[in-house]
């Protein structure tokens, strides 16, 4: 599996082009509608919200163990 090294999003008419730069100089280009971009953004937000909750729990657990 390749690692993401960068990305660009550009609007082309009624569509959006998402250009992912991967390690080893490979690229992936995807065309998506506004509705698809909106769904992608919502799912990214949901995932990050779940992950940030876990990160806070982990950080809180470490703080409690390290406290007096």
Has residue 60 got a pLDDT over 70?
Answer: no
Looking at residue 38, its pLDDT comes to 98
Confidence of residue 65 (pLDDT cuts 50, 70, 90): very low
Backbone angle region of 13, left / alpha / beta, with phi > 0 → left and psi within -120 to 50 → alpha? left
The string of pLDDT tens digits covering residues 4-49 is 999 999 999 999 999 999 998 899 999 999 999 999 999 999 999 9
pLDDT the model gives residue 35: 98
Please state the three-class secondary structure of 7-38 as a single string. Answer: EEEEEECCEEEEEEEEHHHCEEEEEEEHHHHH
> How much is the pLDDT for 66?
45
CA atoms within 13 A on the CB side of 34: 3
């Amino acid at each position: 599996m390749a690692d993401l090294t960068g990305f660009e999003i550009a609007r082309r008419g009624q569509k959006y082009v998402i250009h992912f730069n991967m390690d080893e100089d490979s690229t992936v280009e995807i065309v998506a509608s506004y509705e698809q971009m909106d769904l992608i953004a919502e799912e990214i937000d949901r995932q990050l919200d779940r992950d940030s909750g876990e990160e806070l729990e982990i950080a809180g657990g470490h703080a409690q163990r390290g406290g007096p």
